[in-house]
Structure 1
Amino acid sequence: MTTGTNRIMDEFAKLMTDAAGAAQGVRKEIETAFNAQAERWLNSMDIVKREEFEAVREMAIKARDENEALAARIAALEARLAGEGH
């Protein structure tokens, strides 16, 4: 009787392993389909990607710094011109 019980347990274990493998496959397919749909949805919204945002942000910071430097130079030149005029 133990041989019959062992065989039943072995078959049950094999069935559970197969079911787990099938569930894993289905899960992977659902994740792939979800990710593809999410990507299509985000692309349709014309959302800026993080890399593009960071690149534009860096350009804006650089432009602001250059603007501040130019404003300081203009102020210095104006002060010098005002001093020479007296």
Structure 2
Amino acid sequence: MTQTSNRIFDELAKMMTDAAGAAQGAQREVETFMRAQGEKMLREMDVVSREDFEAVRAMAEKARAENERLEARITALEAAIKKVGGAP
């Protein structure tokens, strides 16, 4: 009887281990499927990539800095013109 009980428990443990492995495999498949569907939705929605976003942000920051530099230069030139008695 003890031998039979041990075999039953061994078989039960093996079945549980196999079931856990199958569940992990199914979980990986679901995660892969969901990731693929998410990426597909983003492509269809024409969402920009992170790299493209960062590139445009860098260009905007550079343009803003250039704009501020030019604004300061214009202010200085206008002050110089006023000083020599030119246009307002």
User: TM > 0.5 between the two?
Assistant: yes
Offset at 1:9?
0.3
Separation of aligned partners in 1, 2:38 and 2:75: 52
More helix by share: 1
Q: 1:71 & 1:22 partners in 2: Cα distance?
A: 66
Structure 1 runs (4+) deviating above 6 angstroms are none
Aligned to 1:66: 66
| Counterpart for residue 79 of structure 1 | 79
| Structure-2 separation of matches of 1:48 and 1:11 | 53
Gaps of 5+ in 1: none
Q: Which moved more, 1:54-63 or 1:10-19?
A: 54-63
Give distance in 2, aligned partners of 1:77 and 1:25. 71
Partner Cα distance (1:85, 1:34) in 2: 71
User: In structure 1, what is the Cα distance between the partners aligned to 2:69 and 2:42?
Assistant: 39
Aligned length: 86
Q: Say what the alpha-carbon RMSD is for the aligned residues.
A: 1.3
- The within-5 A match list for 1:1-86 is 1-85=1-85
Please report the TM-score for the alignment, with normalisation by the length of structure 2. 0.88
CA distance in 2, matches of 1:30, 1:19: 16
Distance 1:5 1:28 in 2: 35
SS at match of 1:85: coil
Q: CA offset at residue 23 of structure 1?
A: 1.2
Post-superposition offset of 1:82: 1.5
